[in-house]
Structure 1
Amino acid sequence: MSPRSSSREEWQPVCRIAELEVERGVAALVHGQSIAIFRTQDDVVYALGNHDPFARASMIARGIVGVRSGVPFVASPTHRHAFDLRSGRCLDDTHVSVPSYEVKVVEGVVLVGQRRAAAA
């Protein structure tokens, strides 16, 4: 096993949680990828790939955050497709998803980890 095992993920600091507006997204370059970061009403922070597969543009961070049947989501600003903030799965077309990333907040700093495995 290499010295860098999957249990030792790389976490990249992005911003302070206090800098994130509730239910508003921001885009950040994390691990060389454009990532959309969201903070919900209950102070949970999520990170998804910022590329909208329907609009074929990097704009997920400009989407509208909401909850559908208990599922936190962001709706694409152009086509309004809803993506589960937890998994990246499209709620309107289950064959489509965007990447989701591990997130943790340590001492008020939002850290983004590796891309999660695709939801089954």
Structure 2
Amino acid sequence: MVPTIEMTTTWERTCELDDLEPGWGEVALLGARQVALVRVGGEEVYAVDHHDPHTGAPVMARGIVGSRGDRPTIASPLHKQVYDLGTGACFTDASLALRTYRTRVVGGMIEVELDA
């Protein structure tokens, strides 16, 4: 019999939804992780790794928020690679990807799902 490994996740409270201005990123320190939070409108909030996949620099919260068609995006402020905020896929370099995290809004507070 093969043992199963159970993955656990936790939801971490970050800040109030109203603390984020739509169209801009902010960084949150969740444990030892730096996560960039981006509010694109209403209660739609994305969370991605704050470190640029190309350079490793902690700058993604200062990225340029936009869209490609109906997909919300963020562009690295350093070399302008454009990433899908929902999937982390890079539109400009298929070898790069940005780590994404699920988010939810509970009682006006943004929560980010982290693996244990």
TM-score class, shorter-chain normalisation, is 0.7 to 0.9
Give the TM-score normalised by structure 1. Answer: 0.85
Measured against aligned partners, the alpha-carbon deviations of 1:89-111 in whole angstroms (never above 9, x if no partner) come to: 11111221011001000010000
Tell me which of the two structures has the higher relative contact order, counting C-alpha pairs closer than 8 angstroms and 6 or more residues apart.
2
Name the amino acid aligned to 1:77.
P
Report the Cα distance in structure 2 between the residues aligned to 1:30 and 1:94, rounded to whole angstroms.
Answer: 28
Q: 2:41 matched to which residue of 1?
A: 41
Q: State the partner residue of 1:118.
A: none
Length, aligned pairs only: 112
Q: CA deviation at 1:43?
A: 3.0
> Which ranges in structure 1 are unaligned for 5 or more consecutive residues?
116-120
Structure 2 unpaired stretches of 5+: none
Aligned to 1:79: 79
Question: What is the rounded CA distance, in whole Å, between the counterparts of 1:80 and 1:31 in structure 2?
Answer: 28
Structure 1 counterpart of 2:22: 22
Larger radius of gyration: 2
Q: For residues 43-91 of structure 1, what are the alpha-carbon distances to aligned partners after superposition, in whole Å with 9 as ceiling and x for unaligned?
A: 3000000100223300000011111121100011111111110011111
What code does the residue aligned with 1:22 have?
Answer: P
Please say if residues 54 and 96 of structure 2, whose CA atoms lie closer than 8 Å, have aligned partners that are also in contact: no
